[in-house]
Amino acid sequence: MSKSKVVFALVMVAFVAGCAAKKEEVVYVDEAAVSTEPTYTGKYK
């Protein structure tokens, strides 16, 4: 095999690896629970 064929093969492998379909990473985020309003029991009740 000549050097040019080896280089061409390496370039093709790099191209295919770069253009391969990437799997999307799914991230689940827990939403904060809804809390009740605080009741004000102080000076201005």
| pLDDT at site 44 | 66
Task: State the total domains in the chain.
Answer: 1
pLDDT digits (tens, 9 = 90+) for 1-45: 688 888 888 888 888 887 776 777 888 877 777 777 777 777 765
State the Cα–Cα distance between residues 45 and 39, nearest whole angstrom: 10
Running DSSP on this structure, what letter comes out for residue 6?
H
> First and final CA of the chain: distance in angstroms?
90
SS (H, E, C) the chain: CCHHHHHHHHHHHHHHHHHCCCCCCCCCCCCCCCCCCCCCCCCCC
Q: What is the dihedral of CA 11, 14, 18, 21, to 10 degrees?
A: 110
| pLDDT at site 45 | 56
pTM: 0.42
Per the structure, the complete domain to which residue 11 belongs is given by 1-45
